[in-house]
Each structure stands twice: as C-alpha cells, then as structure tokens.
Amino acid sequence: MCGFTGFALHGGVTDEHQAQLQAMCDTIIHRGPDDEGLLLRSPIALGFRRLSIIDLAGGHQPIEGIDQRLAVVGNGEIYNFRELRSELQGRGARFATGSDIETILHLYAELVPKGIGPDEAVRLSAKVPKALIGMYGFAIADWRDENNPRVVLGRDRLGIKPLYWAETAEGIVFGSEVKTILASGMVEREMRREALLDYLVQGYCGGEESAWTGIHRLPPASILTWSSKDGVRIQRYWDLPTDELRGAPEPDEIVDLMDRCVRDRLVAEVPLGAFLSGGIDSTAVAHSMAKELDAPPELCTVGFQEKTHDELSIAEKTAKSLGAIHHTEILEPDPKAAIEELPWFFDEPLADPSTVPTWLVSRVARQHVTVALSGDGGDETFAGYRRYVHDVAENRVRSMVGAPGRSLSRAVGSVYPKLDWAPRVFRAKSFLSNVGEDPARAYWHSVAHMTRGAAVDLLNPDLRAALTEHDPFDAFAAHYERPKIDCPLFRAQYADFHTWLPDRILAKVDRASMAVALEVRVPLLDHRFVETFAHLPRDQKVHGARGKHALREALRPRLSAEVLDGKKRGFDTPLESWLRGPLKESAREAIDSLPSDWFDKPKLKALFEAHMTGRVNHDRLLWSLLVLEHWRRRHAVARISA
C-alpha cells in the first residue's frame, strides 16, 4: 500500500522539475513512510511513496523495464501476482524484483506493442487490469515511441484504491490523492459549484468529476491513456453483469469462495490482522482468516463509552472462540481534534461521521499490524443495509396499489406531518411519499442526506440560480436504469456499487486507514465474489424483514446466533450530543466562517439555533457544514466556480 504521483508535459521534463515532483510526493508521505522514489525522463515524471508490504528489500518503485523504455508505479496489492509471474517468465519475461507491481509492467510490455494508435492503445491497455485480481491504482510510463511517449493509468474494478488526474495546458498530472495534483501548481484551488450541491444532498462528491474544478476521478474498472499528440482516451474494462439473476447458491458455495478470497489476502511480509466488530461481515472474515492461518489471528476491536455504539462484548466472545490475539481499546473520541485533523487526509468533503471511528480503529490497529482485513462490501453484495429491506417493502406495496394508489400515497405523504420526535409507528411520511414515487427516486431518498430543494434553499441566491439545471439524482438514476435485470433491488445495489460504495464507503476506509499508514484489504470485494453473489434472487438477499439471508444461512454453522441474528449496528457516532456539546462552538464558528457567496447565512444560523433548542435535530446537516468549512480551510479553497 503506497501512494504515487506524476506528470507528463508537452514542453518536456528537465531536472528543474524535480523540486515540483518532490513537493507532490511530500503531500502523501502518510501513505508511504518507508521509502521514496523519483524518476524524471522527459516528457514524463513519476513519484512514489512506499509502505513496504511485499519484497521489503527489493520492491523499490518506480520499477523500470530492462531497456528503461517502460516504468511503473502502483498503489495496492495484486493477489495473483505469483501465478502471473510464473506465466510471464514462461514466456520469456525477466523480473528484476519480487514485487507484485512488477507483473503489471511485464503484462503491459507483452500486450501493448509500440507504435500503435490511441484507440488501439487504450483497448489493448485494458487487457492488463483484466488479468489482475486485487486492489490497485497504477501509472505506466511508456517511452518506446520516441515521437509520442504515453502515460497509462489504471484503477481496480470496484474502486478500492483511488486515482485522480487533470489535463491542463501544460500536459497531464495525476496522483493517488488530489493533494498531489494541487501541489503541482498546475490546477487552481477552486471548488466546483455542482459539487457543493452534490455534497449537501448526498454527503459526498462522486462520479468522474471531483470536488475540484478541473480534477477528475478515474472511474473504477477504467484505463486511461494520454500522449501529447493524442490527448486522453478512457475505456471501461469491467462491470457487474446486468443481464439476469442467478439461482440460489449451493450450501457451501459462499463460504468456500469467501475462504479463498481471504486466503489470497494473507500474503504479506509484515504483521497482518483484521478488524473485528460484532457484525456478520467482519466476524465471517475473522473466521475465514483463523481457518487459513497456522497461527492465532490478530484481531483489533475498539469500544466506545456510548454503549449504543459499542460492539466490544460480542467481538470479545468471537475472538475468544477463535483463540485469537485480541487487541482492544475503549475510546473516548475527541471530536474537535478529529474535525480539525481529518480534512487533510480527505481531499474532498465527506460528511460520513463514521470517518471518525474508522480513523480511530485504524490508529489502534496500526500499533500492532501493518495490514488489516475488513468486512466492507458484504452489505452491498448481499443487501444488508436496512434501506434495502425498506425498498423491497415499498416496491411490494407499490405494485399492489397500482397507479391510483401511488397517486393517493404521494398526495397524503405531501401533507402528512414530519414527526421526527414521535414514536416510529407514527413516522409514516417518508414511506407514504416513497410509495408514490417511481422506484429509482424512492430509493434515492433513502441514500440522500437531504432533498435537492432543501439543499438549494440554503445556497446564496446567485449560486442557487446558477444551479437550476443541476440535480444530483440524475447521475444516480443513470446507473439505476442501466441493468437489463428488471429487479428494483438489484438496480439499487448496482447503483450503489457505482456511487455509494467507491465514492463514500471505500473513500472513507482508504483515507482514514492510509492516514496512519495502515493497509486495509477487503476480501468481500474480490470481484469474483461480487460477480458470483450480487445476482442472487431477491428472496436470497431480503427474507422477511432482514437482509443478507443467503449469507446468514451459509455462515450459520460457523457464527453464533448472537452475531447472525442480533440487531444490526452502524459504525456511527453520537452526532446529536456532540453538536450540542463539545462541537457546539466549532459548529457556530464554521457557520459564521462559511462564505456568504456560497450560502444564505441567515438561514444557516437559524437552523443552528433551532437545533440548539432541542426542538429539532439538524445534526447531519450541521456536521456536513462543519466538515465542509474545515475542508475549505485546510486545503485553502480559494473560491467556487462561477
């Protein structure tokens, strides 16, 4: 696990650009505290920071080809590198290191001949990541055509590892994090106005455009080629199959493939462990890990003073049953310190409050291991989130009542009081409104932080007018409508795999863990596992009032009933008490400091005062504003796009 950056310039690269490249590398030293490598060979420059995991002695990057006409830098892990290495050596490749990343270089040399056109180059380059099993971002420098050197960027199928790029008048600049691109001085520190609305509505900035004007996010499962003559070409090389659902799994199919995916992720030359909560996914990964290791697994769990957010007691029972070495710590988060420190590592505003406990558990784990396995991805694959259960129920009602019933439900929902303070049985407004909506819009309501109308109402009037045509829902709807499978649940999962998962969940895990130089591996997001089980029939996912049915039943011989049948707990934070307690003055100061050309400041202040009275709860919005302001300060955001 590492970080890389680089650029290629129309006017060429000289030794004078080394200081620029060094400054870019310095911004990601947290991703790679063990080693650094710089390579400048006109017109391309590559920079690298290393967290040593495999081939500790010889895995220095950039890795060059024997004739110095190719070079590669990569962030992540290639789990099938040994098999690929053996095959490549059998066809004549000569390896200089034991690094997994070097396999990318030899695959490219074999699959992509020199002297080809831009469309053929991107098509053949896409064959390289198709051969890989793992999580990665990589950059290849190709000088074989002296008249048209090329840069090739690639990202893993699910978007586990990040990769950003920008094309400017000078050339192309890229990196594992946005801050490397900003440090190049080739891009202005300006927020996209559309990204501000996206952030308020959904709590993160997603899609191919980052929060920053001119800086793009390379989509998951994509390859990019660039040369001075040909410019940028991007091609997607993988997607979830969207044609049909499969049948119910065989009894041992799920656990056998899970064991294999975990086993593939146990290769490391440094201490390795796993996160353990009281939930199904992390417990399942821990069991598979214990089964595959010859020694007791090292498991890391954090507990919290707030017992509603604490799963330590369940995790302790699991660890004991596995004979594990269990590292535990009771945390008392300092939310003020977190809100001030985390924005440096999160180059885009992310309003998910679980960034704080994710960062804290990563910090605890890093005291004992360098690599940790996590259970991320199980909820997306097996429909484990509560919103999937609600979506199935709403679609059943929607199909039963027909068009007249949907119209009536929408009308009643529009006037039904929003009783946030009342017992759950009386809080029917969202259900009534959703039943009256089309399935895509109804599901969107369950993942959005607030409605577009409510978000737009908070903006400065000039900005509000400029965003008349922009609706964050449109990008989500494009993914939702793409599958040929006529199943609302699968469509919702498919959309989440292309939005929520890479741009919120995996971004959170990557930035929070790499902030402390911890590599996190996610076996449940092995693309083979996702391809196999994301297409299960609806009743194999949502059964009764619970999700993950097939996974629960497959794990029943292994996991306790307390884990399998217990109440689902989110890895969350007590926002409401924080914002009326230790973060009260920080929130007030943030609202005072947010630019008046971004927001309608009197409305923000009124929301803050209403929250502090206790009559209403605006904790999610206030947290979003607090995160936004500290992000803006930490990254010296100069302005918002006109």
Question: Which residue type is seen at 38?
Answer: L
The C-alpha atoms of residue 627 and residue 632 are separated, in whole angstroms, by 9
CB half-sphere exposure, 504, CA atoms < 13 A = 22
Q: Count H helices, E strands: the chain? A: 30, 19
Eight-class DSSP state of 460: -
Has 100 been labeled as part of a binding site? yes
Strand, coil or helix: 616: coil
CA 211, distance to chain mean position in Å, is: 15
To which H or E segment does residue 327 belong? strand 325-331
| Dihedral (Cα; 245, 251, 256, 261), 10-degree rounding | 30
Instruction: Give DSSP secondary structure letters for 331-369.
Output: E---HHHHHHHHHHH-SS----TTHHHHHHHHHHHHTT-
Both structure tokens of 150: 């090329």
Place of tokens 């306790």: 560
Pairing of strands 164-167, 216-217: antiparallel
Apex 259 CA angle, 255 and 265, nearest 5: 145
Work out the number of other CB atoms within 10 angstroms of the CB of residue 245.
Answer: 16
Question: Which residue type is seen at 283?
Answer: T
The C-alpha atoms of residue 283 and residue 588 are separated, in whole angstroms, by 40
Has 375 been labeled as part of a binding site? yes
CA distance to 73, 285, 365, 366, per residue, from 319 (Å): 38, 12, 15, 18
The C-alpha atoms of residue 6 and residue 26 are separated, in whole angstroms, by 12
Instruction: Give DSSP secondary structure letters for 213-265.
Output: TT-EEPPTTEEEEEETTTEEEEEE------S----PPPTTHHHHHHHHHHHHT
Place of tokens 């690094």: 99
Answer whether the bond into residue 62 is a cis peptide, omega within 30°: yes
Asked if residues 502 and 220 have their Cβ atoms less than 8 Å apart, the reply is: yes
Has 273 been labeled as part of a binding site? no
User: Which residues are catalytically annotated?
Assistant: 2
Q: Which long-range contacts (CB under 8 A, 24 or more apart) does 548-553 make?
A: 548/280, 548/378, 548/379, 548/382, 548/383, 548/384, 549/382, 550/248, 550/249, 550/254, 550/382, 551/254, 551/280, 551/284, 551/378, 551/382, 551/384, 552/280
Residue ranges at the known binding site? 100, 374-375
Which residue ranges make up the annotated binding site for ATP? 374-375
